[in-house]
Amino acid sequence: MTAPPKMRDLAHRLLAYEAGAGKTSEPAESATLRVYEKLRQSLGEFVGVAGFQSLASRALTLARPEAPGLSAARVTEDGYLQGLGEIENQFDTDKDRAGEGGIILIARLLGLLRIFLGEALTLSLLRNAWPGEAFDDRNSAHGRKA
Amino acid sequence: MSTQDKVKINKLPTGVPGLDEIVGGGLPEFSFNIIAGAPGSGKTTLAHQFVFANATPERPALYFTVLGESAIKMLRYQQQYTFFDPAKLPGAIRFINLSQVVLEKDLGAVLEQITKEVEKANPAVVVVDSFRTMVRKPQSDMDLQSFIQRLALFLASWQATTFLIGEYAEDELRDNPIFTVADGLFWLRQTAERNSIVRKLQIVKLRGQDSVPGLHTFRITDAGVQAFSRTFGLTGHAKNPPSHRRLSFGIAELDKMLGGGVREGDSVLVAGSSGTGKSVLATQFIAEGIRHGEPGIVAVFEERPQAYAERATSLGLDLETPQKDGKLTILYLRPLDLSVDETMHSILDAVQKIGAKRLVIDSLAGFEMALSPGFRADFRESLYRMIFALTGIGVTILSTVEVDESFTEFPFSTYSISFLTDDIIRLRYVSIDGQLRKIMVVIKMRGGNHAKDIREYEITDKGVVILGKRLTNYQALISGIPVYSERSDLTEKPSLDAGIEHKT
């Protein structure tokens, strides 16, 4: 079973947003890691380090069959994501594949949140982490404004 | 110090239907409260209702979770309640997990973390859930007491209203420094009674508030916790002065027996065995009230409203039209797991909604059977509270009760509730001339004279019809087996008991 399209779309948008932001501020860090870090900080506040670590590990496990390149990635005990940089470097020559593993991982993480908390609450949490981004349905993949 | 100089304590809505009345109008602002109880008693839900009712983006709520239920699961379940508004998260309500600090550090570090978050967010409400898990770690009493006092002092100084949630057993209530420091202590209990669960809430203490003492029933539904005050929410209502108005049954002869009718605001008990016409009499009473522009409520337990209205139609009484016009409500209360207070709240709500002046409870036996077994023990006490509350605001109550016929006794009711009633009308069968006929007598009318006559009556297509004059040629009528007497001098003497034992 693959990540739901809606969650993939949402993950894609977050990565695109961070990729844009990263060009000027922190170019060395991948967009996936930036999204992941924001989620870790935002979710970690209310689920705790252990709570986030559990969710992220589950998301990674679910993402691996879709993105075998994630096999080297791991979630540390304190919830950080390791081994993603090397994977993304492998795809560097192919722009379409670049970040695909990251999108799947983030989509799986968002999917878990949606399963546990529901869409409304998940989007509320994302709005808090990305105050400048709109997350309503009109901006989804099937009806995006721009 | 004049009243003007005294500090005014703002009262915050609890967000729990019925609880504001119990706590004396709302929760004192800046108070430091504990919600205690066993797991599953509704502590977290109650706290969430308070948080959702009071948190704003300007003055948010900080909800610290510790080692109990994980925040994700808590939110997953709590958002099933109708009060849960996802839009309030995380702007107006922020969940902060303290488990790591608790596990790895000491209470000082916990206090430091809470202090940091509070200073940053300037919250109006702070909840620590579960506080108990935080203080279970081995530490000296002094550490704990010092921590509690510093936490309470800090949160009050920062103008936050606080709830600490903890799993406590009843025997921990004494000599606990936490309870000493708290301004408010809410104790939630749930006990199994036969096959039913009975939930009760007690405000053990609440500084500065005139809370309603005692145990209050509460229920957890998809709307969250709903509390039912022992005083039925009528605490603040002014009692009506005693009325001298008489209410008619629509049966002229019965009104005469009652000295002109039932006194407004009385509680009337109509007692008799099956088939004696108790419900018919009750229906005539309510219909006559509607005819005089007095809205009415009929609480039925033994038949459905439609059947009740149809039976009234067969007596020539129209109960359909007043129902459509909002002048009559027929309540059917038959779920077998109700708390007595909950049932009475349904009746009170209906009374207040249409401004009812007359209430029929048909019957008390059905009412009792509709209750959860655990509440049946409280039935008489709760009935007393409801009758007192309703008659106090001028509602006239007629209750029917079935009594077993006996030929050696003349019981007024099987409930020993005659002391709750102002007036008692007793119906019974009597064997006369080879027929099972019916007699009626007014046993008691508090605050008024009534006829001593024993009258024969029939139930016709016009309802209860009282026949002729009192039965003067029989002795021992109330025994059910009267003795015929042709002595003319007996006609002027009341033929009461003849050695029969009275039971109330």
Using alpha carbons, list the distances in angstroms from residue B276 to B199, B231, B436, B472. Answer: 39, 34, 11, 21
Inspect the interface and report whether the beta carbons of B100 and A117 lie closer than 8 Å: no
A96 vs chain B: nearest CA distance in angstroms?
Answer: 34
Whether residue B147 contacts residue B111, with contact meaning beta carbons closer than 8 Å, is answered with yes
Inspect the interface and report whether the beta carbons of A46 and B91 lie closer than 8 Å: no
Residue B233, token pair as written in the block: 């929410």
So what's the pLDDT on residue B488? 53
Q: In what helix (H) or strand (E) does residue B241 lie, and over which residues does it extend?
A: none
CA pair distance B254, B439, nearest whole angstrom: 12
Closest residue in B to A113 (Cα–Cα):
B72
Inspect the interface and report whether the beta carbons of B73 and A46 lie closer than 8 Å: no
So what's the pLDDT on residue B326? 95
pLDDT at A139 over 70: no
**Mutation site, B51, B64, B70, B72, interface A, largest A CB count within 10 A:** B72
So what's the pLDDT on residue B165? 93
CA pair distance B432, B197, nearest whole angstrom: 50
For residue B221, count CB atoms less than 10 angstroms from its CB and return exposed for 0-12, middle for 13-18, buried for 19 or more. Answer: exposed
**Mutation site, A38, A41, A46, interface B, largest B CB count within 10 A:** A46
pLDDT at A94 over 80: no
Neighboring chain B residues of A125 at a CB cutoff of 8 Å: 89-90
* Residue contacts between A and B (CB atoms, under 8 Å): 59
For tokens 């099956």, the residue is B274
So what's the pLDDT on residue B148? 86
Please count the other Cβ atoms lying within 10 Å of the Cβ belonging to residue B346: 16
* Cis? peptide before B314, omega within 30° of 0: no
pLDDT in tens, B31-54: 999 999 998 899 999 999 999 999
Q: Residue A119: what residue type?
A: E
So what's the pLDDT on residue B497? 34
So what's the pLDDT on residue B336? 56
Q: What number of helices (H) and strands (E) belong to chain A?
A: 5, 2
CA pair distance B16, B377, nearest whole angstrom: 27
For tokens 């020539």, the residue is B316
Residue A144: pLDDT band (50, 70, 90) is very low
Residue B157, token pair as written in the block: 């100084």
Q: Write phi, then psi, for A59 (nearest 5 degrees).
A: -60, -40
Concatenate the DSSP letters of all residues of B177-192 into one string: HHHHH-SEEEEEEEEE
For tokens 């016409």, the residue is B277
For residue B7, count CB atoms less than 10 angstroms from its CB and return exposed for 0-12, middle for 13-18, buried for 19 or more. Answer: exposed
Whether residue B41 contacts residue B199, with contact meaning beta carbons closer than 8 Å, is answered with yes
For residue B340, count CB atoms less than 10 angstroms from its CB and return exposed for 0-12, middle for 13-18, buried for 19 or more. Answer: buried
* B358-362 vs B296-300, strand pairing mode: parallel
B100 vs chain A: nearest CA distance in angstroms?
Answer: 7
Whether residue B279 contacts residue B401, with contact meaning beta carbons closer than 8 Å, is answered with no
Q: Which ranges of chain B have pLDDT less than 50?
A: 490-504
Inspect the interface and report whether the beta carbons of B90 and A125 lie closer than 8 Å: yes
By Cβ distance, the residue of A47, A49, A118 closest to B70 is: A47
pLDDT in tens, A27-79: 445 889 999 999 999 999 888 888 899 999 999 999 999 998 898 899 999 99
Express the helix, strand and coil content of chain A in percent, nearest 5 each. 65, 5, 30
So what's the pLDDT on residue B122? 94
Closest CA to B357 of B490, B277, B243: B243
Q: What is the DSSP letter of B405?
A: -
Inspect the interface and report whether the beta carbons of B99 and A48 lie closer than 8 Å: yes
For a pLDDT cut of 90, what percent of chain A falls above it?
45
Residues in chain B: 504
A3 vs chain B: nearest CA distance in angstroms?
Answer: 21
Residue A133: pLDDT band (50, 70, 90) is confident
Inspect the interface and report whether the beta carbons of A128 and B75 lie closer than 8 Å: no
Using alpha carbons, list the distances in angstroms from residue B120 to B54, B60, B115, B116, B117. Answer: 19, 11, 8, 6, 5
**Which residue did the predictor score with more confidence, A89 or B74?**
B74
Neighboring chain B residues of A116 at a CB cutoff of 8 Å: 72-73, 75-76
Neighboring chain B residues of A45 at a CB cutoff of 8 Å: 94-97
Residue A140: pLDDT band (50, 70, 90) is very low
By Cβ distance, the residue of B70, B79, B96 closest to A121 is: B79
CA pair distance B297, B386, nearest whole angstrom: 14
So what's the pLDDT on residue B223? 95
Chain B interface includes A47 (CB < 8 A):
yes
Neighboring chain A residues of B76 at a CB cutoff of 8 Å: 116-118
A45 vs chain B: nearest CA distance in angstroms?
Answer: 5
pLDDT at A7 over 50: yes
Cα B11 to chain centroid distance, Å, stands at 24
Task: Map residue B242 onto helix, strand or coil.
Answer: coil
So what's the pLDDT on residue B239? 60
pLDDT at A26 over 60: no
CA pair distance B59, B122, nearest whole angstrom: 6
